[in-house]
Chains A and B, each alone.
Chain A
Amino acid sequence: MSKKEKILLKASIAFALLFAVAPAVNAMHIMEGYLPASYCVAWGVICVPFLAAGFISLKKRLEENRKSITLIAVAGAFIFVISSLKIPSVLGSCSHMTGTGLGAILFGPSAVSILGIIVLLFQAVLLAHGGLTTLGANTFSMAVAGPLLSFSIYKLCSGLKVNRKVSVFLAACLGDIFTYCVTSIQLALAYPSEAGGAAASAVKFLGVFAPVQLPLAIIEGILTVVIVIGLESYARPELKAIGFLKEAK
């Protein structure tokens, strides 16, 4: 073994060890303090219109029916709990769902934007997943971009009369992948590569997180389908109450 090969071998062992001790691979939350201050502010500002829209629709919903506050609250708690539980995974490392795809399908993207920022705040404070300065960037990728895509895919598929299971799977899975792409681009814009600029950097971030995120997206899709099947068989009245199933005519 040459000297270089030895170094390479040692480096790869160290790398593997780091993964063994790394306690949990989260859905891509950008950690506290990782983005420069200007980017934190910029992403926060981009979120404002979406949050305002969510806030207005929430207010309208509460004025129509004050009872829905507890329903919306437990929906938020549900998203937090489902995203903090370890899910079965292929690699043996523990990983988490985002839960926002399911939320968007069930409650609509405007409710999820407000619930999302609250859940992200709790995740930052209680679990140290994400952070306070990166709340804006994380809100954009996980509570705005991902759910919006999930919701539009779901609506598009049901418009095209695709099987509901297939459309739920596509919505949750692609929403997850989209969240991961947006996060990679956010990181790449903040840290453009020395060789090739932001585009090369985006490819690097996508590549580094792909082994974790791609299987995770598929698992998230499958789990969301199983949850929706369970709900359809046991909770039809509740699903009608939140407007997920249309009233039978």
Chain B
Amino acid sequence: MIAVDKLCYRSKLRYVNAGEKFAYSMLTLLFCIMSRSFALSMVVLLINSILTVGKGGLPLHRYISLMAVPSAFLILSTLAIIVNISKIPLDGYALPVGAFFITGSKASVLFGLRLIVTAMAAVSCLYFLSLNTTMTDIMAVLGRLHCPRIILELMLLIYRYIFVLMETASAMLVSQKARLGHKDLKTSLRSFGSMGAALLIRAFQRSVSLYDAMESRCYDGRIRVLDEQHPAKPSEIALIILYELVLLVYTVWRRVA
């Protein structure tokens, strides 16, 4: 139902130490947005794609379609940055419309392109994490980073119930569709709303029985789960440190220069 969640369980990098993957993607992400450099972003994008598709074994077409998910936002907001309406034409391009110009400077067009590449590289970092690490592993890392226990427990329960509720919701939507419940806008609004209400009622009922089930298994305000241990390989750590150092040096050099 959620593609990323299914794919990450199939990744060949799934059993690599989660802390290692987390540190790698967070640091790379950080250097990406700190440097905002075209070259660095291209390298990061390339390496992450190789890691996820080549090493992780994700089909390339799935990767491309996943990378296209934020495209609507990317196109719209970059357009808003590089397109100006002004009385004075700027040096990049200018289309006269009445007394005004639809215009932009060369610098801003370049800036927009760089922004697109940076954002795509950042998205590839996010995907490296989410397509190769299961959500439970990420939560275990957050736990080691001293994220409050209540928040982690809520995350664990929410994560579990997302799938339960999604299954319920899609079953309700299918049966509504089978009864022509989505034949036009008006009926589909009514159907969607009644589905939402029914879903929330089911969710409330589930929450009561969930608590009873937890209580009968000696719940005392704390959910204890064992996480699998996959020790990090020293060679991988060394490679990651080397790579991040190169990115760090490049970022600092760009800032100074």
Q: Are A77 and B161 in contact (CB under 8 A)?
A: yes
Chain A residues whose C-beta falls within 8 Å of the C-beta of B50 in the assembled complex: none
Per-residue interface assignment for chain B, residues 164 to 197, with 1 indicating a CB less than 8 Å from any chain A CB and 0 otherwise: 1110010001000000001001001110111011
Bound CA–CA A76/B148 (angstroms): 17
Which A residues touch B90, using CB under 8 A? 194-195
A199 within 8 A of B: no
Interface size on A, residues (CB 8 A): 88
Contacts A81-B165, A194-B105, A209-B76: A37 and B81 contacting too (C-beta < 8 A)? no
Tell me the complex Cα distance, A102–B130, Å: 28
CA distance A223 to B119 in the complex (A): 33
Residue from A34, A55, A87, A225 having most chain B Cβ neighbours under 10 A: A34
Which residue from B123, B173, B182, B192 sits with its C-beta under 8 Å from A223?
B192
Docked pose: A26 CA to B71 CA in angstroms: 11
Answer whether A230 and B193 are a contact pair too, CB < 8 Å, given A70-B157, A124-B126, A235-B204: yes
| Alpha-carbon separation in the docked complex, A84 to B127 (Å) | 18
CA–CA, A204 to B85, complex, Å? 9
| Given known A-B contacts A32-B123, A77-B161, A227 and B200 have beta carbons under 8 A apart | yes
A142 at the interface (CB under 8 A from B): no
Interface string of A205-249 (1 = CB under 8 A from B): 101110000000001001101111111001100100100000000
A48: Cβ under 8 A from any B Cβ: no
A74 CB–B CB distance under 8 Å: yes
Comparing A61-69, A144-152, A153-161, A174-182, the segment that makes contact with chain B is: A61-69
B124–chain A nearest beta-carbon distance, Å? 9
A198 interface hit (Cβ, 8 Å): no
Is residue B16 within 8 Å, beta carbon to beta carbon, of the partner chain?
no
Q: Which of A1-43 contact B (CB under 8 A)?
A: 4, 8, 18-19, 21-26, 28-37, 40
Query: Looking at chain B, what size class is its interface with the partner chain?
Result: 35 or more
For chain A residues 75-123, which have a beta carbon within 8 Å of chain B? 75-78, 80-82, 84-85, 87-88, 90, 102, 114-115, 118-119, 121-122
Partner of B115, one of A28, A34, A234: A34
Residue A162 at the chain B interface, CB threshold 8 Å: no
- Given A29-B73, A126-B5, A223-B189, verify A230-B204 contact (CB < 8 Å): no
A81 with B197: CB separation less than 8 A: no
A195 and B85 contact, Cβ closer than 8 Å, known pairs A73-B154, A88-B188, A133-B33:
yes
Contact check: which of B36, B79, B188 meets A36 at CB < 8 Å? B36
| CB proximity to A under 8 Å, residues B194-218 | 194, 196-201, 203-204, 206-208, 210-211, 214
B211 near A37 with CB under 8 A, answer no
Is the beta-carbon distance between B203 and A74 smaller than 8 angstroms? yes
Q: Evaluate contact between A194 and B108: CB separation under 8 angstroms.
A: yes
Query: Are A128 and B188 closer than 8 Å at their CB atoms?
Result: no
Which residue of B has the minimal Cβ distance to A117? B151
Complexed CA–CA distance, A69 and B161 (Å): 13
- Stretch binding the partner chain, chosen from B52-60, B62-70, B229-237, B238-246: B62-70
Q: Which residues of chain B in 109-131 are interfacial with respect to chain A, using CB atoms and an 8 Å cutoff?
A: 115, 118-123, 125-127, 129-130
In the complex, 22 of the A-B residue pairs with CB atoms within 8 angstroms, ordered by the A residue number, are A33-B120, A36-B33, A69-B154, A74-B203, A85-B192, A88-B182, A88-B188, A115-B154, A122-B135, A122-B162, A125-B135, A126-B4, A128-B70, A132-B29, A133-B30, A194-B104, A194-B108, A195-B86, A195-B103, A208-B79, A226-B196, A231-B197
Extra contacts besides A70-B214, A81-B162, A81-B165 (18): CB < 8 Å: A19-B72, A23-B71, A23-B72, A34-B73, A34-B115, A69-B157, A80-B162, A82-B199, A84-B166, A88-B192, A121-B155, A128-B123, A194-B90, A194-B108, A201-B80, A219-B189, A229-B193, A234-B201
Residue ranges of A at the interface with B (Cβ–Cβ < 8 Å): 4, 8, 18-19, 21-26, 28-37, 40, 55, 58-59, 62, 66-67, 69-78, 80-82, 84-85, 87-88, 90, 102, 114-115, 118-119, 121-122, 124-129, 131-133, 187, 191, 193-196, 200-201, 204-205, 207-209, 219, 222-223, 225-231, 234-235, 238, 241
